[in-house]
Amino acid sequence: MTHSEENYIKAIFHLGFEGLEVISTNALAERMETKPSSVTDMLKRLSEKGLVHYKKYQGASLTDLGIKTALSIVRKHRLWEVFLVEKLDFNWDEVHEIAEQLEHIKSEKLIDKLDELLNYPKLDPHGDPIPDKNGELMEAHKQLLSQMPINTSGICVGVKDSSAAFLRFLDKNNIALGNKIKIVEKEEFDNSVRVLIDHRQLHLSQQIAANLYIKKINM
């Protein structure tokens, strides 16, 4: 498998997780930042290799082999992310790009040893689950702040809206990724929430709460 093929498989996998049953040529082209015609070419190739189901004009989905392949790539990506953060002191938001490269390194033994070194982590630094050696994937353990029940705690691990405006807002209010956060109260009227961050009480609008990802603690 080439790097490019692996990247397409991964993109189809992720689009699948985002709700799409069958992935359209255009959706995939947008995700891959390429042209639809290139996607068509690649889908034919992947179909011939038995990695995707593909019928002209009907979109694509992964075969069992494709899913297995995708899980293996995702496993590598997320384990490397843990390594970069835990062992090399990278910040959570710097690791994705490097892991995009490392995920293509071919050596089963390397990944198993890395898994061992990191003590078989279940979640990556963004709170996403890491498939185990057999491709078993636990359910997601991150959720939007707006979806958390009252009196639960977690750690800020990501943003949905990554606009400069939103990031500036977080900065201004001293909300950093990695902060522990506890949800204290929800306002029925406007869905705003009161939270506790570093012993500070904050009142956040629904718009804010719906764009901040929280990793549940103790899972």
Partner DNA sequence: ACATATATTTAGATTTGTCTAAATTATTTA
Partner DNA sequence: TAAATAATTTAGACAAATCTAAATATATGT
> Which residue ranges make up the site for its own copies (CB under 8 A)?
84, 87-90, 94, 97-98, 101-102, 105-107, 109-110, 113-114, 117
Please name every residue paired with 153 in a beta bridge, in sequence order, or none if there are none: 182
Structure tokens at 164: 């400069």
Residue 45 interacting with DNA (CB under 7 A): yes
Which span sits near DNA by CB under 7 A: 1-9, 80-88, 100-108, 198-206?
1-9
- The residues, ordered by sequence, that sit 6+ positions from 216 with a Cβ below 8 Å of its Cβ are 127, 141, 142, 143, 152, 154
Nearer to DNA, 2 or 119 (CB): 2
Q: For the CB of residue 78, give the shortest distance to its own copies in the complex, in Å.
A: 17
Distance in angstroms (rounded) separating the CA atoms of residues 74 and 66: 12
Q: For the CB of residue 120, give the shortest distance to its own copies in the complex, in Å.
A: 14
Q: For the CB of residue 110, give the shortest distance to its own copies in the complex, in Å.
A: 6
Nearer to DNA, 14 or 45 (CB): 45
Out of 9, 12, 16, 25, which residue is the one contacting DNA (CB under 7 A)? Answer: 25
Phi first, then psi, for residue 52 (nearest 5°) are: -135, 150
The stretches of 58-163 forming alpha helices (DSSP H) are 64-86, 95-102, 108-117
Whether 146 and 210 have beta carbons less than 8 Å apart is answered as: yes
- The residues, ordered by sequence, that sit 6+ positions from 23 with a Cβ below 8 Å of its Cβ are 12, 15, 16, 59, 60, 61
Nearer to DNA, 12 or 27 (CB): 27
Per-state percent for the chain, helix, strand, coil, to nearest 5: 40, 20, 40
Residue 47 interacting with DNA (CB under 7 A): no
Name the DSSP class of 140: P
Nearer to DNA, 24 or 205 (CB): 24
Q: For the CB of residue 107, give the shortest distance to its own copies in the complex, in Å.
A: 5
Out of 38, 179, 205, 207, which residue is the one contacting DNA (CB under 7 A)? Answer: 38
Nearer to DNA, 27 or 208 (CB): 27
Residue 3 interacting with DNA (CB under 7 A): yes
Structure tokens at 198: 């570093």
Number of residues engaging DNA in binding (CB under 7 A): 24
Which span sits near DNA by CB under 7 A: 52-60, 151-159, 190-198, 205-213?
52-60
Name the DSSP class of 160: S
Whether 115 and 129 have beta carbons less than 8 Å apart is answered as: no
Q: Which does 106 bind (CB under 5 to 8 A by kind): DNA, its own copies, none?
A: its own copies
